Structure 1
């Protein structure tokens, strides 16, 4: 190699020729934080430029708010969006001290002084953002536009007043779970005239006084308002919003203190309303009739737990809100096919529909949707016992653009319905089915044969077993695990209640239904799904007839698979894990809990080739020992979470990877 060639290779052409403006623009166009962080480590110049280009910060609980916010402001001067979530845990100052003591970091010194002679309760409070931190934040980031303070319980009106005075350009404020008072909210209304979004969920310290003054101050700018579990906010606040905030587009209400008057005022005073979400047990049809009459721009409507709401209100929505695209009906017991039929007739642009626990809605209403709403792209039916195969047959015929289908506890929907969806909705990308015991191999095989774009498939507890012995009825909730007495299941541990609930519902249905031929989802179905080469997410937990053959077919046909849940599969063995390791190098998360045939051998084959694996659940796998867990944490450089029994983790593994080990069970 010539000296000139060596010189050219060693020359820093990028930093010499590219000005800072170009490099900054490159950093702004990088949409991945991981990529941005990697690029910032190239050299000091790139590190400083990346910090200049960053506009968003996400922060968990912080040790010393004043110092922490000041430190961030010196490194990232152009921040416009800050998310602070106190639910995210942090390392204790003592841990930070052990890591940084050698370098003589001022961070450790400050925490040491801050914590000295402090009572334990006050030390805990010091980890949370307080008014002092919020005041510092407003001083250091005067150009702030978006701020989220999630469950920052130590923030009060004092901090909000400082924020309003310094950050007058604020456009979005999320105060979820903050116990702030009316004075702070009123100050935001007086000073932040550009505020567009406000979230007041679980702000128990607020009343009508603060919200009324904010509505008056931000009357020209406010577009989005969310209120939930605020007992002191009543119709008076909504009347003020309806009177002043003519540009309001989104309203979310969850309150027992809101009645018809408040919703009526918003409906009449906010003609630009596009999104309305209501969980208000005291609101009746009269309010919904007003929404249908005055809110012609309405695009999304969600109604939760309406006890006094009937077809009369839903018919008004269908007659007036012609632009409606998204409709959610949850636990609205007095709605029937008539109301859903009115939506189908009047709202031709409907794209998303969710019906959850509305027991009077049957096949007739959904058939009308299939015939009229041809633009439907997502359908969710949860706990709809009266909706049968005919309804989905019409959906398959009329809704050719359907991309997502969710079915939970729909006992009257079976293979014929799924076959109709598969043949008519070939663009289907997401299919979630849970506890629909009439769905078996036939329907899922049709999905695999026709829906080649399928990327997300979940078949949870879609299995009906045939039993003959009356002994099996004695302990139905735990029998599928191969156990005959409930106390033998987990004798020394507390277990995940969600898993037990799933098992109970699954087994109770199986043991109280008797059929000559069992309807199951087995290996034949997954062999067909193996043809869907775009599959990225697969959940077949509780489908007991699935074994090695089905998972091997998926492993060989779906190289982009990144998430897999095969928990409670009693016939799954090491061969399937070996094939997954060979065929699915992109796998990041796997759940193999309650798989009795899995051993350390299969686990070692899996981790040998799945270098991207980040999460693994291996609870109650008797064939997996401490050796397998050690192999898992040592063979996966990107591992972040391993869920396992405590007694299977050796002391050496704890020392090596204690931070990634999680224990589901707690010794009694």
Structure 2
């Protein structure tokens, strides 16, 4: 910009910072920050979010970040994520130059020999939490995922210095009641709280928090907390009158706790329950008192019946999202009550509810005109006629997921194609009655389809893909295990869908190099490809693909016998954006390991 700077003199700091905030990716912001020193300073000031992994020394990193990014309001620390050192292709790797490397030290064994032992990666501690508290005083959202080394002391420092905190995620943190009580005492604006897998908490801590933050708290999540019982939930029901979302996964919660929340929290909009000891009594109360309920998810319930769904259908007229998973005593009667009572239903998932059949889903098709997403998983009793009714009545359907529905075939898919012209996403897996006829109808009539997954549907062949390629603009395609598909189908798809970004053609025995050549020529936007178990693909086809698809980020090539170490090396050297290559370990040369060891993943077979 030297000598040609027309931007900096004309634009004030505030406007440039607003432009940085509107950039849609971290890479774009990073690129902007290296233009000049002013832009670097302003870009740092504009950042409001940082994410930190487990490798290296999080405590020290946080202190450095706090000095550079003073406007941060959201901090995410996830110790499940390991941050690796970026490897520059073609250059010798530097050893022990970064704090993020797991150093290896030699220790003398009892026999006088030396052994290499890898030091454990550092974890976030109370020192790091104190650095967050001191460095980000305007903190509004803090997420600590599986940070097992933090204690009440660190959480107290957060509570005392970050009084604007609105969201706190403590999943997997072994903190206790004192830390939670401190949060309640200091953070009067707290709205969202996640306590999943916080095994050190008891009813006392939940009660103290509920009493202190009852007027602000809107969302609570509790899972696998053995010492949080109905007593803690009763405190929530008594003090958190503005609670809008509750997620419970516990065998220690009974009707009493859920009843208290239902009666005491009239603003409840989201309720997710996986509590094996909750029965009809509690859900009857939800139907009676929670008229604002919009989302209900019930998992693994074996102690409630259609009576509960009838109460929900009668009392929760605003219900838009319903998930029923492994609820064995529900039948068509309960689903019919939901359909007729909750006409605003937009999302429905039925998973493994073996007593729900065709009639129940027919009722949804006839009554729920606003349905936009439908998922039927392991529903052996639902037949073609049910989806015919959905096709007739649900004109706004945009997503359909079918898994192991043995009685659903081409007639059902043709009905969906005829009636649901706005369909954007179709996922079908192991529905063996679905073949070319149904998918051809989708290709001819659903012009807005962008995501198609037909996995292990062995009656689908090239004819279906040719029709979809001619009629749709796909971005995601998964035809794994569809053995009738050959090069002809993939070539037609590549020519018809040049914006394809994800492709899974694994376990296709008839796919060869010609398909890869056409993909390279026609689909420059391809980012992810899965070729595993493609026995006809060779190094030559793979080389042509990766040299043309310069945006490729991930490539799975396990169990491809004609792809060798030379092919793997070609992928690494040709794709500047590559982030993950999944391959057998013996196909990776020592040179390739040195150049790109951080992005290579190996198939785990040594069990």
2:382 aligned partner:
387
1:355 aligns with 2:350: yes
1:596 aligned partner:
535
2:500 aligned partner:
561
1:292 aligns with 2:287: yes
Compute the displacement of 1:66 (Å): 3.3
TM-score, with structure 1 as normaliser:
0.86
Counterpart Cα distance in 1 of 2:331 and 2:446:
32
2:111 aligned partner:
none
1:78 aligns with 2:71: yes
1:577 aligns with 2:516: yes
Q: 1:184 to 1:92 in 2, by over 3 A?
A: farther
Compute the displacement of 1:423 (Å): 0.5
2:307 aligned partner:
312
1:416 aligns with 2:411: yes
* Structure 1 counterpart SS, 2:510: coil
* Structure 2 counterpart SS, 1:585: coil
* Structure 2 counterpart SS, 1:14: coil
2:203 aligned partner:
208
Q: Identify which of 248, 272, 281 aligns with 1:253.
A: 248
1:49 aligned partner:
42
Residues 533 and 559 of structure 1 are in contact (CA less than 8 Å); yes or no, is this contact kept in structure 2?
Answer: no
After superposition, residues 431-442 of structure 1 pair within 5 angstroms as 431-442=426-437
1:272 aligns with 2:267: yes
2:215 aligned partner:
220
1:234 aligned partner:
229
419-428 or 524-533: which moved more?
524-533
Counterpart Cα distance in 1 of 2:120 and 2:291:
49
Compute the displacement of 1:243 (Å): 0.4
Q: What RMSD over aligned residues (CA atoms) do the two structures have, in Å?
A: 2.4
Compute the displacement of 1:665 (Å): 4.1
Cα deviations by residue, 1:63-88 (Å, 9 ceiling, x for unpaired) = 33332111001110000000000001
After superposition, residues 48-127 of structure 1 pair within 5 angstroms as 48-91=41-84, 99=94, 127=122
* Structure 1 counterpart SS, 2:543: helix
Residues 446 and 472 of structure 2 are in contact (CA less than 8 Å); yes or no, is this contact kept in structure 1?
Answer: no
Compute the displacement of 1:534 (Å): 2.2
Residues 473 and 496 of structure 2 are in contact (CA less than 8 Å); yes or no, is this contact kept in structure 1?
Answer: no
2:189 aligned partner:
194
Residues 640 and 660 of structure 1 are in contact (CA less than 8 Å); yes or no, is this contact kept in structure 2?
Answer: yes
1:632 aligns with 2:571: yes
Residues 100 and 108 of structure 1 are in contact (CA less than 8 Å); yes or no, is this contact kept in structure 2?
Answer: no
Residues 517 and 541 of structure 2 are in contact (CA less than 8 Å); yes or no, is this contact kept in structure 1?
Answer: yes
Q: 1:607 to 1:334 in 2, by over 3 A?
A: same
Q: 1:460 to 1:133 in 2, by over 3 A?
A: same
2:5 aligned partner:
12
2:110 aligned partner:
none
Residues 56 and 100 of structure 2 are in contact (CA less than 8 Å); yes or no, is this contact kept in structure 1?
Answer: no
Counterpart Cα distance in 1 of 2:566 and 2:360:
56
Counterpart Cα distance in 2 of 1:565 and 1:432:
13
Q: How many positions carry a matched residue from both structures?
A: 597
Residues 453 and 532 of structure 1 are in contact (CA less than 8 Å); yes or no, is this contact kept in structure 2?
Answer: no
In structure 1, the gaps of 5 or more residues are 1-7, 464-519
Compute the displacement of 1:631 (Å): 1.3
Residues 62 and 68 of structure 1 are in contact (CA less than 8 Å); yes or no, is this contact kept in structure 2?
Answer: no
* Structure 1 counterpart SS, 2:414: helix
Q: Identify which of 459, 462, 470 aligns with 1:531.
A: 470
> Which structure has more RCO (C-alpha within 8 Å, separation ≥ 6)?
2
* Structure 1 counterpart SS, 2:489: helix
Q: Identify which of 573, 581, 594 aligns with 1:642.
A: 581
Q: Identify which of 4, 22, 26 aligns with 1:29.
A: 22
Counterpart Cα distance in 1 of 2:5 and 2:511:
55
Q: 1:403 to 1:222 in 2, by over 3 A?
A: same
Q: 1:665 to 1:221 in 2, by over 3 A?
A: closer
124-133 or 72-81: which moved more?
124-133
Compute the displacement of 1:666 (Å): 4.3
Compute the displacement of 1:652 (Å): 2.0
Counterpart Cα distance in 2 of 1:194 and 1:393:
49
Counterpart Cα distance in 1 of 2:164 and 2:345:
37
Q: 1:65 to 1:571 in 2, by over 3 A?
A: closer
After superposition, residues 364-379 of structure 1 pair within 5 angstroms as 364-379=359-374
Q: 1:155 to 1:108 in 2, by over 3 A?
A: closer
1:159 aligns with 2:154: yes
Counterpart Cα distance in 1 of 2:205 and 2:119:
30
* Structure 2 counterpart SS, 1:355: strand
Compute the displacement of 1:126 (Å): 6.0
Compute the displacement of 1:141 (Å): 1.0
